[in-house]
């Protein structure tokens, strides 16, 4: 609830008014951020993901556990949450699947996602999966090969492959609007802010900045070999 996406989801759930919201945070997390949540009347529980009994106690009385853990915490902490949720009597689990559909991609996170999904099924919990493509805020960044500050872009492939992008705030609003709908149980939900390509984005950057990015196109197979 203190990460960027988690904070937005908490805000959207509270604004909706249909939910009793509590934030589960790691022991030792930023106390200032947690205090600001408490000042808004939001219950905050701190627990160690290695403390099963503590997690069970923190999840008592709730119907849904929604995970917005960071990429480096997708497996073991979520498996711990699933085990605790089952014992606490939670009915539904929303894993931190936000972004690309792990089943349809070859990302390094695919195996972790598969294990979490299997754990949810074996625990008898109702899953809800949210997929939104790439977060819009991350798209124009060196991570995706778009270094506007240096005036360079490195694109894998032709740059014409379409993909989905969505603002994080829109994802949060969609979660709040859909989670209370019974049709979201045992369901995969998708949201798309826009459908675009890297070439389209580069063209827009060029038009807005008034200068032309120096674009390098990389072979897909060579790029895969470089990260293998």
Extents of the domains making up the chain? 4-133+166-192
> Could you tell me whether strands 146-147 and 152-156 are parallel, antiparallel, or unpaired per DSSP bridges?
antiparallel
Grouping H, G, I as helix, E, B as strand and the rest as coil, residue 14 is helix
In angstroms, the Cα distances linking 98 to 28, 131, 142, 152, 227 are: 25, 5, 21, 28, 23
Q: What CATH class is the domain 4-133+166-192?
A: alpha beta
Nearest to 93 by CA among 82, 109, 103: 82
Residue with the larger pLDDT of the pair 91 and 108: 91
Q: What percent of the chain has pLDDT over 90?
A: 70
> What is the side-by-side strand order in the sheet with 163-166?
134-135, 163-166, 194-196
Task: Write down how long the chain is.
Answer: 228
Q: pTM score, two decimals?
A: 0.87
Q: How far apart are CA 7 and CA 172, in angstroms?
A: 9
| pLDDT confidence band for 1 (50 / 70 / 90) | low
CA R_g for the chain: 20
| pLDDT confidence band for 129 (50 / 70 / 90) | very high
**pLDDT confidence of residue 101:** 79
Grouping H, G, I as helix, E, B as strand and the rest as coil, residue 32 is helix
Q: How many CB atoms lie within 10 A of CB 58?
A: 23
**Least-confidence region, from 27-31, 72-76, 91-95, 157-161:** 27-31
Sign of CA pseudo-dihedral 33, 38, 42, 48: positive
Note the Cα 89 to chain centre separation in Å.
Answer: 24
Question: Tens digits of per-residue pLDDT, 16-52?
Answer: 999 999 999 887 666 888 888 888 989 998 888 899 9
CB 8 within 8 A of CB 172: yes
**pLDDT confidence of residue 105:** 67
Q: What percent of the chain has pLDDT over 70?
A: 93
Residue with the larger pLDDT of the pair 124 and 32: 124
Question: Tens digits of per-residue pLDDT, 167-206?
Answer: 999 999 999 999 999 999 999 999 999 999 999 999 999 9
Half-sphere exposure in the Cβ direction for 228 (13 Å, CA): 7
CB 75 within 8 A of CB 110: no
Answer yes or no: is pLDDT of 61 > 90. yes
Q: Return phi, psi of residue 65, to 5°.
A: -110, 125
**pLDDT confidence of residue 112:** 84
3-state helix, strand, coil in the chain (%, to 5): 45, 20, 35
């Amino acid at each position: 609830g203190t990460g960027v996406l988690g904070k937005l989801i908490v805000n959207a759930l509270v604004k909706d008014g249909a939910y009793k919201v509590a934030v589960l945070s790691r022991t030792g997390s930023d106390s200032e951020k947690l205090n600001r949540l408490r000042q808004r009347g939001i219950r905050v529980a701190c627990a160690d993901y290695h403390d099963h009994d503590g997690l069970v106690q923190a999840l008592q009385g709730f119907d849904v556990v929604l995970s917005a853990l960071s990429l480096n915490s997708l497996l073991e902490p979520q498996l711990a949450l699933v085990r605790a949720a089952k014992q606490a009597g939670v009915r539904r689990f929303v894993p931190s699947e936000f972004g690309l559909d792990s089943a349809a991609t070859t990302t390094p996170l695919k195996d972790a996602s598969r294990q979490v999904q299997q754990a949810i099924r074996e625990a008898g919990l109702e899953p809800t999966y949210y997929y939104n493509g790439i977060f819009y805020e991350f798209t124009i960044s060196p991570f995706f090969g778009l270094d506007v500050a240096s005036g360079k872009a490195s694109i894998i492939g032709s740059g014409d492959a379409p993909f989905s992008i969505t603002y994080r705030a829109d994802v949060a609003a969609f979660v709040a609007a859909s989670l209370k709908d019974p049709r979201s149980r045992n369901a995969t939900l998708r949201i798309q802010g826009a459908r675009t390509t890297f070439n389209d984005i580069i063209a827009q950057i060029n038009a807005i900045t008034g200068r032309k990015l120096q674009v390098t196109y990389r072979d897909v197979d060579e790029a895969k070999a470089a990260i293998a």
